[in-house]
Amino acid sequence: MTDAALPLPRRAPIREATAWDRLKTNRNWLGFWFMVPAAAFLILFLAYPLGLGVWLSFTDTRIGRPGEFIGIENYEWVLGDSKFQDAVFNTLFYTTIASIAKFAIGLYLAILLNHHLPFKAMIRAIVLIPFIVPTVLSAIAFWWIFDPTFSIVSWTLKEMGWRTTNINFLGDTWNARWSVIFANVWRGVPFIAITLLAGLQTVPPSLYEAATLDGATRWQMFRYITYPLLTPIIAVVMTFSVLFTFTDFQLIKVLTNGGPAGATELMATMSYNTAILGGKIGEGAAVSTAMIPFLLGAIMISWFGLQRRKWQQGED
């Protein structure tokens, strides 16, 4: 009643949105501003170098001298080089064996940790330590363990009477390959085990109870319950594992530096030796660019493997 008597407050007319307001409030502009820091880092130091790397592989750049475009000459030289062929073989061998071993042991460890255990949280924390400690520092410990004369492993085997001589871990072609694979598996298992454990914990126990009532064996339960439900997480974890094993550098650099006689030279260490130590940036870039098709292949396989799984399970 009194409302009507009061004079209406004068309102300011609604202001036209200025260009500045648009920049401040428009969804797309706002999104753009928020993306600037991350985009700057990723474009300047990731996307640009990635493109530059491909370009450098087509030039004859040396350290301290800009190069000129020389077409596929670097690739011709690299593909014809027996050292490169050996490096590709070593890399594939290293990646395949280490990934399979990491997956098998990691899954086994995850299943073990999924049991009802005393001090479970503590055991899980301890298991992860090899993954926390910087690779180079644990590689140094392995270097000492693999020492040709003072290896503790050789000493123990000799004391137990299983061997009479020291094992030449890093000096023999195949011993060196197996030794670096062992160190890589040692370092990679915790990551795979803990991530798969997180996946295992999401599997509903009722499924196992139902399977038990149906008389399923332990293997059948693993094969038809655990494995299918874990597939998506396995695909992601193994993609990462394969990718980072394929491009491994630190472990090899510390343990063998590619030796003996190139037996453990991987593509990453070869590109370092060629480009940084040898100064031939162009050739080195060609070696590292040659890794890209393999990586894309690995990503594709895991991606489409994952898709097919989903389709089979009817989760279209």
Partner 1 sequence: MSAAETRADITDNREGMSYLDTLPRRVVTVYIPLFLIVFVLLFPFYWMGLTAIKPKEELVDFERANPFWTWAPTLEHIKDLIFKTEYPRWLWNTMFISVVSTVLALIASVFAAYAIVRIRYKGASTVGGLIFLSYLVPPSILFIPLSTVVYQYGLFDTPFALILTYPTILIPFSTWLLMGYFKTIPFELEECALIDGASRFQILMKIVLPLAVPGLISAGIFCLTLCWNEFIYALTFINTHANKTVPVAIVTAFTDGDQYRWGSLMAGALVGSLPLVILYSFFVEYYVSAMTGAVKE
Interface with partner 1 includes 104 (CB under 8 A)? no
The binding track of 64-93 with respect to partner 1, each residue x by CB under 8 A or -, is ------------------------------
Question: Using an 8 Å Cβ cutoff, are 220 and 130 in contact?
Answer: no
Tokens describing residue 54: 């491909």
Chain residues 234-263 in contact with partner 1, contact rule CB under 8 A = 236-237, 239-240, 243-244, 246-250, 253-254
Distance in angstroms (rounded) separating the CA atoms of residues 307 and 316: 9
Distance in angstroms (rounded) separating the CA atoms of residues 265 and 83: 9
Interface with partner 1 includes 155 (CB under 8 A)? yes
DSSP string across 198-216: HHHTTS-HHHHHHHHHTT-
Which residue, among 155, 291, 299, 161, has the nearest Cα to 235 in the 3D structure?
299
Interface with partner 1 includes 304 (CB under 8 A)? no
Q: CA Rg, the chain, in Å? A: 28
Alpha carbon 23 to its chain centroid, in Å, reads 39
In the complex, least distance from residue 133 CB atom to partner 1, rounded to whole angstroms: 4
Judged by CB under 8 A, the residue of 105, 167, 229, 301 near partner 1 is 105
In the complex, least distance from residue 167 CB atom to partner 1, rounded to whole angstroms: 14
Task: Compare residues 111 and 229 and give the one whose CB is closer to partner 1.
Answer: 111
Q: Which stretch binds partner 1 (CB under 8 A): 10-18, 72-80, 95-103, 105-113?
A: 105-113
Question: Using an 8 Å Cβ cutoff, are 254 and 139 in contact?
Answer: yes
Backbone φ and ψ for 16, nearest 5 degrees, come out as -65, 140
Interface with partner 1 includes 275 (CB under 8 A)? yes
Judged by CB under 8 A, the residue of 179, 231, 256, 288 near partner 1 is 288
Q: How many CB atoms lie within 10 A of CB 99?
A: 22
Chain residues 179-238 in contact with partner 1, contact rule CB under 8 A = 186, 189-191, 194-195, 198-199, 205, 208-209, 211-212, 215-218, 221, 233, 236-237
End-to-end CA distance of the chain: 63
Interface with partner 1 includes 11 (CB under 8 A)? no
The binding track of 30-69 with respect to partner 1, each residue x by CB under 8 A or -, is xxx-xxxxxxxxx-xxxxxxx-xx--x----x--------
